[in-house]
Amino acid sequence: MLLATAAGVLVDRGLAVSLSVGKLKLLISNKRTRVIDMLRNFFSSPTSDLSPEESLELVNKRLELAHEEDDTAKKLELVNSANSRLKDTENIFVSKKVKDPSLCKGIANAYHEHGELLDGLGHHDKAKKSHNRADKWG
């Protein structure tokens, strides 16, 4: 939630933006973590009205963020979030009776990427399931 103060300072969860004449200064503590946290909150918002393509785009963004994350717990959280969104993407795909081979390939690629991330985190059984789902869609 953004709070505006009379001094012209906006505060959003530790991100302070100071506005001055002709100049914008960003004062960010733990910049990378804060940005990832803000993106995670944005991408975890309700998305039931998304198209399969938009939903898959969110999945891919979460997987990209997981690749960039150094903290193992946060990486796993992003990977799990991507998996949840990927299942939602499948449901949207099926419920809207979409017949798009490129979207099927995108879902397969996302499951493959998800499996690779899980392998890297030592979750080999879950990774295998993800790779199997990739094969199903690919």
What one-character-per-residue DSSP string does 70-123 give? --HHHHHHHHHHHHHHHHHHHHHHHHTT---HHHHHHHHHHHHHHHHHHHHTT-
Please say if the pLDDT value at position 98 is more than 60.
Answer: yes
Listing DSSP states for 6-61 in one string gives: TTSEEEETTEEEEEETTEEEEEETTHHHHHHHHHHHHHTS--TT--HHHHHHHHHH
Please say if the pLDDT value at position 96 is more than 50.
Answer: yes
- How high is the pLDDT of residue 34? 60
Please say if the pLDDT value at position 125 is more than 60.
Answer: yes
Nearest to 113 by CA among 97, 131, 95: 131
Task: Tally Cβ neighbours within 10 Å of residue 70.
Answer: 8
Average per-residue pLDDT for the chain: 76
Q: What is the layout of strands, in order, in the sheet containing 23-28?
A: 3-4, 9-12, 15-20, 23-28
How do residues 39-70 score in pLDDT, each as one tens digit?
A: 555 555 455 578 888 999 999 999 999 999 99
Q: Which residue has the higher pLDDT, 59 or 10?
A: 59
- How high is the pLDDT of residue 63? 96
Indicate the pLDDT class of residue 31, thresholds 50, 70 and 90.
low
- How high is the pLDDT of residue 36? 60
How do residues 74-85 score in pLDDT, each as one tens digit?
A: 999 999 999 999
